[in-house]
Amino acid sequence: MSGIVVIGGGQAGASLAQKLRGLDYDGPITIVGDEPVPPYERPPLSKGYLLGDQAKERLFLRPEAIYADKQIELRLGEPVTRVDTNARFVEIGNERLDFDQLAFTTGSTPVRLPKAIGGDLDGVFTVRTLADIDAMEPRFQKGASVLVVGGGYIGLEAAAVAAKLGLTVTLVEMAERILGRVAAPETADAIRAVHMAHGVTILEGTGLARLTGDTRVSRAVLTDGRALEVDFVIVGIGIRPETTLAEASGVACDNGIVVDACGKTSAPGVWAAGDCTSFPYQGGMLRLESVQNAIDQAETVAANMLGEGKTYAPYPWFWSDQYDLKLQIAGLNTGYDRVVRRGAGDAVSHWYFQGTRFLAVDAINAARDYMVGKRLLEMGKPVSPEQVTDMETNLKDLLR
């Protein structure tokens, strides 16, 4: 009995395997992960774990013994080297593992700085895996100087931790402003102000020209000509879907592993879920990088592997913790043409509209606004910019 093989030991892979057992699938399940640790949460890596507020054991999604109890075999630290979707087997080193069905939950990999500009020097780090954080953590010494490359959420979260621990922090963003791809200027302005209040130097419209040092990075030259002495560098310039194995096996890929609304790939009996996938959404194709997408899509795929025929409808939500600021996001703001604000001071929310259609909300220290916005999106209920901005409006009334 060959059973189901899941390639990728992250949130999606663990969720898929657990859901299969929850749906009473009693065949063999094997999760193959290239990291030597059980599946764990990634979001806390650049937040609580890096800050030292969260122990490593609390990162793990479940105790390793749970997988044994559920008869889910974990093959950890053993990357798959080949997938044959026709003969229906994967290779792990010299071992061959047969499957009836296969799921790619390979996630994504960070974009790295080119070697030509010093990206391979010691002291240059990315923020993606537990090993990444463990490697950089000893560098977080009070008074050290760190350069953060990239003004997205990962870079900003790392900058916040460094500033809280007493490091001298400079963040460079090549685009005109931080969070340019993912948030409105109003949200970016609020987050920038908090960082500047904590002593972080943010240089927008400024890129990294090169890093220098003998074997270890010691200096950064920026595109505006200035040079900075640095003790280490954190790179947060984006991630790419991990499609190497899928592509090599002939599975169709285009900005991710292409799947249909049920999670099927172009190869019979082969599925995919999580960050690595590109799936149908509102007449186009979408790739989502979020915990909720990884869980929900993986659980849908698990059901479909057992013949349920469910279509996947994402309800995106995200969050970011920086200092005492908690940013919660519901929905996707793609295509917005108007942003309105609710609230004032430290607790505000920015609501995105396309015409009169409500798309998304960014809530800063405004948990109620976030929860109502999230529910409105899930229920498909209309709401107008005027209702949102009227502080006499009880937001919960909008849900009735």
Largest CA distance in the chain: 68
The hierarchical CATH code for the domain 112-235 is 3.50.50.60
- For residue 337, give Cα distances in angstroms to 19, 205, 340, 351, 356: 39, 23, 10, 11, 10
Determine how many CB atoms are found less than 10 A away from the CB of residue 180: 15
Characterize the bridge pairing of strands 239-241 and 124-126: unpaired
Per the prediction, the chain carries an average pLDDT of 96
The stretch 72-83 carries a mean pLDDT of 96
Instruction: Write out pLDDT tens, residues 330-369.
Output: 999 999 999 999 998 889 999 999 999 999 999 999 999 9
The single-letter code of the amino acid at 391 is: M
Phi-psi region for residue 68, left (φ > 0), alpha (ψ -120 to 50) or beta?
Answer: alpha
Determine contact, residues 111/117, Cβ cutoff 8 Å: no
Q: Is the predicted pLDDT of residue 161 greater than 80, yes or no?
A: yes
The stretch 267-287 carries a mean pLDDT of 96
Sequence-distant (6+) residues with CB within 8 A of 303 are 19, 23, 310
* pLDDT classification of 315: cutoffs 50, 70, 90: confident
Determine contact, residues 342/330, Cβ cutoff 8 Å: no
Tell me how far apart the alpha carbons of residues 295 and 318 are, in angstroms, rounded to a whole number.
13
Sequence-distant (6+) residues with CB within 8 A of 299 are 15, 16, 19
Q: Is the predicted pLDDT of residue 39 greater than 90, yes or no?
A: yes
Delimit the domains of the chain by residue range. 4-109+239-305, 112-235, 324-399
Q: Is the predicted pLDDT of residue 277 greater than 70, yes or no?
A: yes
Report the pLDDT value the prediction gives residue 20, as an integer from 0 to 100: 98
Paired strand residues for 166: none
Tell me how far apart the alpha carbons of residues 4 and 233 are, in angstroms, rounded to a whole number.
41
Determine how many CB atoms are found less than 10 A away from the CB of residue 155: 24
Q: CA geometry: angle at 54 spanning 52 and 55, to 5°?
A: 95
**Same CATH topology for 112-235 and 324-399?**
no
Determine contact, residues 349/366, Cβ cutoff 8 Å: yes
Number of H helices, E strands in the chain: 10, 26
Report the pLDDT value the prediction gives residue 400, as an integer from 0 to 100: 86
Name the strand (E) or helix (H) holding 209. Answer: strand 208-212
Sequence-distant (6+) residues with CB within 8 A of 338 are 352, 353, 354, 355, 385
- Is pTM beyond 0.85? Reply is yes
Tell me how far apart the alpha carbons of residues 43 and 41 are, in angstroms, rounded to a whole number.
6
Fold classification of 4-109+239-305 is FAD/NAD(P)-binding domain (3.50.50)
* pLDDT classification of 103: cutoffs 50, 70, 90: very high
Tell me how far apart the alpha carbons of residues 177 and 363 are, in angstroms, rounded to a whole number.
19
Determine how many CB atoms are found less than 10 A away from the CB of residue 382: 11
The single-letter code of the amino acid at 229 is: E
At the top level of CATH, the class of 324-399 is alpha beta
Angle between helices 153-164 and 185-197 (to 10 degrees): 20
Residue count (the chain): 400
Tokens representing residue 155 in the block: 């870079």
Determine contact, residues 395/368, Cβ cutoff 8 Å: yes
In 3D space, the residue among 351, 337, 346, 334 whose CA is nearest the CA of residue 395 turns out to be: 351
Tell me how far apart the alpha carbons of residues 300 and 226 are, in angstroms, rounded to a whole number.
51
DSSP 311: P
Report the pLDDT value the prediction gives residue 76, as an integer from 0 to 100: 96
Report the pLDDT value the prediction gives residue 1, as an integer from 0 to 100: 61
Instruction: Write out pLDDT tens, residues 210-268.
Output: 999 999 999 999 999 999 999 999 999 999 999 999 999 999 999 999 999 999 999 99
